[in-house]
Structure 1
């Protein structure tokens, strides 16, 4: 049995909480967050659930992209007859946009192609031209390869393993000498600066408006991709931040109380995700080296909570590798609907 749901109009399914718990889906998969994001998106955002009776056994998140899709245009009431599906995680681009029950050696890629594509052909009709499948791991590369399919390696995802460390210092001491010396200097500088307060707070205690202002500073830097993210809407952030598994590392100017930098963390029993990062430029009231300090704070938090690793996402891979992260290869595949 298959449910194709539109979070803008369909209520949260009764099985959704149990599905999220079984699949380990983080805060961005909360139905409240999905609905808020869908209303602020430039494309329809169908959520497809596979069920064995009342028991959910798979889920796929995607965006329906048509010729009417525009950078600064919200999704309309109509769906559009001709287009394709961009299969992606609803929030964190470092995670796949699908999950299937069971331990598939290919990360569930083959099951996605064998079940999801036929289901979407039936749902969308002859106008369904194909799909772009993102965040395919190396184990799933063979499953997406084939005639008339285009497979390309994309940006690696940085994952920092912290299980072996007992403290932030242990992590820092594992790094190359030059990097270690640089980090020690950065940490000492922040510790000696009374004008900056660093604290970890539950997301519900953060101010969504202040968070949006800082994140938009970072968003404006990234116009080097074909379709840049939409600005961070306060409505979406309000819904996201109040999820119980969201935490925020805040940097505030103690003289003004102004938020000058922040990071959000999506908690998980084993592998949390460092999701958002934003910081004011030093000339606008920020501080140098904020990102490096945040990295250390994330490590300290993860070690203190007994987590095994932290996902630090894409971009700046070389720098993250110098901070001890391993780079996990990722692939994207363009697959015709009839192939």
Structure 2
């Protein structure tokens, strides 16, 4: 097993081939990992395990420091220095409903367990004595079983939302909704028809700084609302959010990728009212980002409903098996026909690592 720092280490050999088979989401692209690592206060490292020379699996782990106030992580040290306390979160920060552990093909649970224990030992060696432990966040139940064990607390967290494609058309999907929801969908589509709605894959016409500002404002507002309401568990654990603000450079690279569709909503004066990204792959579609201007600043109510309706249209048109849409707004998505997929977190304190 090798552990690489995307900021300074070259892409592991065989990584591109492994990505095509097992880690198809663009978040696993090494160039995007490099941008994310340089612009994060909790930079990720990539652990790659091989079998006979080929890549068999991988884990992505953010190294998180307590009460770290700086905007970015310190530069990778060129020589040894006293270790600072940190913990590792095995987590895809911009794809939180999907695991940061992937294997090629079918790997039995017993082998997965052994490989995760090996990862923990190698990570402890890589980080040093300052590593406090590892938290596996947002694992599906199968992988959670491999990560679990004695003295490894686990708990079910907010699920991710999934819409199975069992529709012949968008109208077929609308017909399956409850009457009040059908009306809300039609009203949102009528409102959106009065706006400038533009969508395309690999877009080069967007101002990534504009997108990042809206997305980070949306995240901050959502976090503040969670604290005020006292319903923190309903907002996907944002009170424990260790992610950095979404970097402009990261979004700029993401929306230019051919498998990523970006849909923007603007009013007659050109103001950006909302946008979302949609990732397309043979295994399914995913909507990792959504942000909208609040009503008090000129935003449009229920704009997200139109966005979900258009994503369902893309789902049906491309014939993909499912659409995943993250871990927030669970009640809204349930009304729109989404089911949930169970996710589990597993905590591994330092004395238990590798056991």
Asked if Structure 1 and Structure 2 have the same fold, meaning a TM-score greater than 0.5 normalized by the shorter chain, the answer is: yes
Verify: 1:10 aligned to 2:9, yes or no: yes
Deviations 1:207-243 (A, max 9, x none): 2122123212312213241336422221111122222
Q: How far is 1:314 from its partner?
A: 0.2
Q: Secondary structure at the match of 2:273?
A: strand
Counterpart-to-counterpart distance in 2, 1:228 and 1:33: 19
Match of 1:89 in 2: 92
Counterpart-to-counterpart distance in 2, 1:296 and 1:102: 33
* CA distance 1:153–1:101, change in 2 (3 Å): same
Match of 1:177 in 2: 179
* CA distance 1:189–1:65, change in 2 (3 Å): closer
* CA distance 1:219–1:21, change in 2 (3 Å): same
Of residues 299-308 and 16-25 in structure 1, the stretch that sits farther from structure 2 once superposed is 16-25
Q: How far is 1:161 from its partner?
A: 0.9
Checking the alignment, whether the CA contact within 8 Å between 1:107 and 1:139 is kept in structure 2 is: no
Counterpart-to-counterpart distance in 2, 1:59 and 1:126: 23
Deviations 1:110-131 (A, max 9, x none): 2443321122233334433321
TM-score after normalising by structure 2: 0.86
Deviations 1:283-304 (A, max 9, x none): 3232111011101011001111
Verify: 1:295 aligned to 2:308, yes or no: yes
Q: How far is 1:17 from its partner?
A: 1.4
Match of 1:100 in 2: 103
Verify: 1:334 aligned to 2:333, yes or no: no
Q: How far is 1:109 from its partner?
A: 5.2
Give unpaired runs (5+ residues) of structure 2.
78-82, 227-238
TM-score after normalising by structure 1: 0.90
Q: How far is 1:52 from its partner?
A: 2.5
Verify: 1:132 aligned to 2:131, yes or no: no
Match of 1:186 in 2: 188
Counterpart-to-counterpart distance in 1, 2:86 and 2:300: 45
Counterpart-to-counterpart distance in 2, 1:41 and 1:90: 11
Counterpart-to-counterpart distance in 1, 2:52 and 2:333: 44
Counterpart-to-counterpart distance in 2, 1:180 and 1:112: 47
Match of 2:253 in 1: 239
Of residues 285-294 and 23-32 in structure 1, the stretch that sits farther from structure 2 once superposed is 23-32
Give unpaired runs (5+ residues) of structure 1.
none
Counterpart-to-counterpart distance in 2, 1:272 and 1:71: 36
Q: How far is 1:149 from its partner?
A: 1.7
Counterpart-to-counterpart distance in 1, 2:97 and 2:264: 22
Counterpart-to-counterpart distance in 1, 2:306 and 2:111: 37
* CA distance 1:258–1:106, change in 2 (3 Å): farther
Match of 2:296 in 1: 283
Match of 1:76 in 2: 74
* CA distance 1:282–1:106, change in 2 (3 Å): farther
Q: Secondary structure at the match of 1:221?
A: helix
Checking the alignment, whether the CA contact within 8 Å between 2:203 and 2:262 is kept in structure 1 is: no
Match of 1:20 in 2: 19
Q: Secondary structure at the match of 2:221?
A: coil
Aligned Cα RMSD in Å? 2.2
Within a 5 Å distance, the mapping from 1:309-324 to structure 2 comes to 309-324=322-337
Counterpart-to-counterpart distance in 1, 2:109 and 2:218: 35
* CA distance 1:314–1:323, change in 2 (3 Å): same
* CA distance 1:7–1:145, change in 2 (3 Å): closer
Counterpart-to-counterpart distance in 2, 1:84 and 1:9: 21
Q: Secondary structure at the match of 1:46?
A: strand
